[in-house]
Chains A and B, each alone.
Chain A
Amino acid sequence: MTESNVTVTVPLPEALEEIAQDFTALSARDRLTLLLDFSDGLPELPERYAGHEELLERVDECQTPLFLVVEVDGLQDNAPSQGARVRLFFQAPPESPTTRGFAGILHEGLDGLTVGEVLAVPDDAPYRFGLGEAVSPLRLRGMVAMLGRIKRQVRAKSVTRAG
């Protein structure tokens, strides 16, 4: 199956779609360079998480474990949670630039979106960046796992208080 064949129905959020277009407009070699930019640009953990890996979820499906945590801002009791904002935080070592690059894409594409928008991101989104031919499809499984865990955390953290 080629990557374009899975781009069927569910659209990506605007920021993620722009990133996907940036990648797919490039040659496979230049996609790697852009992925490296995302790796370089992945924000550091804020102070409240730095050095506290126990507060983060470990994503074992990446070649080198990545840690991530989701915060949901603006939740109100007894109010719909769909409009609350999602914040994403990641940690991966510089020796794992591919994993960092995947995290950087998801950070730039999803951070600050609403709960409803993040939960609507299609699970095949990682296959829409043309990265399969640049890094091999096997390696994309790490990004699929990150997205899955982000959505799971968002779901868990947005339903509790909204009841």
Chain B
Amino acid sequence: MSVETDDNSKFRDYAHPARLVSTDWLAGQLAAGNADGNSDLVVVESDEDVLLYDTGHIPGAVKVDWHLDLNDPVRRDYVNGERFAQVLGQRGIGRDTTVVVYGDKSNWWAAYALWVFTLFGHPDVRLLDGGRAKWVAEGREITRAVPTRTAVDYPVVERHDASIRAFKDEVLARIGQPLVDVRSPGEFSGELLHMPDYPQEGALRGGHIPGARSVPWARAAAEDGTFKSRSDLEAIYLTEQGLAPSDDVVAYCRIGERSSHTWFVLTHLLGFDTVRNYDGSWTEWGNAVGVPIEVGA
């Protein structure tokens, strides 16, 4: 890791403390000029709303949009290595650059971006604990000025899905093994086909994958959007849900964004060895012909 890690005492308890930075740490890096120009540190904003960055962002931050930059425009899949190299290189991000991602909605889309960066094995990518909301709530500087970063060559790296991404047939074949459904209780039971307050995203059937445990993603977040302490997280995922760090776990939601948040918690905060995000999630499973579905809480 090319840029020093945040030695925050809260993070020390987590399995991979280097994957998180605090707003204090980031403000200090900005003040020291460490995220300017051609520096080793690039701050990336990844939001649900494609224009939110443009209304004001952390000084020096660049925007990565989950839909326009990370999803393939034609097939339902992520971009390939060429396109990923283009997206990052244009933003002045090289393979050795330390990337700090933050975003709205308690870092849903930031965690999603971090997970996609991980598909390409980007070595040093971290989340800003508390995300955009915490930065703004603390009255820290935001700007509409879009930074000009010199483009660099990002290598074309093949995407490696196998270790952190699960596909429908794999999920089908492993029913009975630990599966975490991170959607709202109403979506889990099948009463709702989509998130409360959100658009219908086209699932024909409601319910959950048989045997899934319902652990809504937000249980991992504190009021201010930061992650709960390691002991609080262990109380939920280990004690209450009976998961073990050696388990082979798959997490899913509706399109894979909320489950990226849970993937981050299980992988980097609790140190689980094998966690995969099933990004097809309910918009695939709830439309698939002949797959088993369980309804009710």
Chain A residues packing against B (C-beta within 8 Å): 32-33, 35-36, 39, 60-65, 94-99, 101, 134-136, 138-139, 141-142, 145
The interface residues of chain B lying within 8 Å CB-to-CB of A32 are: 50-51, 54
Nearest Cβ distance between residue A64 and chain B, in whole angstroms?
7
Tell me whether B197 is interfacial, beta carbon within 8 Å: yes
| Interface contact A64-B67, CB-CB below 8 Å | no
Which of B51, B52, B67 has the most A CB atoms < 10 Å from its CB? B51
| Interface contact A98-B50, CB-CB below 8 Å | yes
List 10 A-B residue pairs with CB atoms under 8 Å apart, sorted by A's residue number: A36-B51, A60-B200, A63-B48, A63-B49, A64-B49, A95-B52, A97-B54, A101-B51, A142-B199, A145-B199
Nearest Cβ distance between residue A109 and chain B, in whole angstroms?
19
The interface residues of chain B lying within 8 Å CB-to-CB of A134 are: 50
| Interface contact A135-B197, CB-CB below 8 Å | no
**Alpha-carbon separation in the docked complex, A32 to B68 (Å):** 13
Tell me whether B55 is interfacial, beta carbon within 8 Å: yes
| Interface contact B54-A135, CB-CB below 8 Å | no
**Alpha-carbon separation in the docked complex, A39 to B50 (Å):** 12
| Interface contact B199-A63, CB-CB below 8 Å | yes
| Interface contact A63-B55, CB-CB below 8 Å | no
**Alpha-carbon separation in the docked complex, A33 to B53 (Å):** 11
Which of A62, A64, A142 has the most B CB atoms < 10 Å from its CB? A64
Q: Which of B51, B67, B198 interacts with A138 by CB under 8 Å?
A: B67
Given A63-B48, A63-B49, A136-B67: A36 in contact with B54 (beta carbons within 8 A): yes
Tell me whether B104 is interfacial, beta carbon within 8 Å: yes
The interface residues of chain B lying within 8 Å CB-to-CB of A61 are: 199-200
| Interface contact B55-A39, CB-CB below 8 Å | yes
Nearest Cβ distance between residue B132 and chain A, in whole angstroms?
9
Given A63-B49, A95-B49, A97-B49: A141 in contact with B199 (beta carbons within 8 A): yes
Nearest Cβ distance between residue B188 and chain A, in whole angstroms?
20
0 or 1 for each of B118-136: is its CB under 8 Å from A? (1 = yes): 0000000000000000000
Q: Which of A62, A139, A141, A145 interacts with B50 by CB under 8 Å?
A: A139
Q: Which of B65, B198, B200 interacts with A63 by CB under 8 Å?
A: B198
0 or 1 for each of B194-232: is its CB under 8 Å from A? (1 = yes): 000111100000000000000000000000000000000
Chain A at the B interface: mostly helix, strand, loop or mixed? helix
Given A63-B198, A139-B67: A94 in contact with B51 (beta carbons within 8 A): no
Q: Which of A97, A99, A139, A141 interacts with B55 by CB under 8 Å?
A: A97
The interface residues of chain A lying within 8 Å CB-to-CB of B49 are: 63-64, 95-99
The interface residues of chain A lying within 8 Å CB-to-CB of B52 are: 95-98
Interface residues on B, range: 10 to 19
The interface residues of chain A lying within 8 Å CB-to-CB of B55 are: 36, 39, 94, 97
Q: Which chain B residues (17-49) contact chain A, with CB distance < 8 Å?
A: 48-49
The interface residues of chain B lying within 8 Å CB-to-CB of A101 are: 51
**Alpha-carbon separation in the docked complex, A159 to B119 (Å):** 56
**Alpha-carbon separation in the docked complex, A17 to B200 (Å):** 30
Q: Residue of A at shortest CB range from B71?
A: A136
**Alpha-carbon separation in the docked complex, A94 to B198 (Å):** 17
Nearest Cβ distance between residue A91 and chain B, in whole angstroms?
15
| Interface contact A136-B50, CB-CB below 8 Å | yes
| Interface contact A98-B51, CB-CB below 8 Å | yes
| Interface contact A135-B199, CB-CB below 8 Å | no
The interface residues of chain A lying within 8 Å CB-to-CB of B65 are: 136
**Alpha-carbon separation in the docked complex, A97 to B55 (Å):** 7
Nearest Cβ distance between residue B36 and chain A, in whole angstroms?
23
Which of B49, B55, B68, B104 has the most A CB atoms < 10 Å from its CB? B49
The interface residues of chain A lying within 8 Å CB-to-CB of B198 are: 60, 63
| Interface contact A60-B50, CB-CB below 8 Å | no
Q: Which chain B residues (216-263) contact chain A, with CB distance < 8 Å?
A: none
**Alpha-carbon separation in the docked complex, A144 to B153 (Å):** 40
0 or 1 for each of B54-68: is its CB under 8 Å from A? (1 = yes): 110000000001011
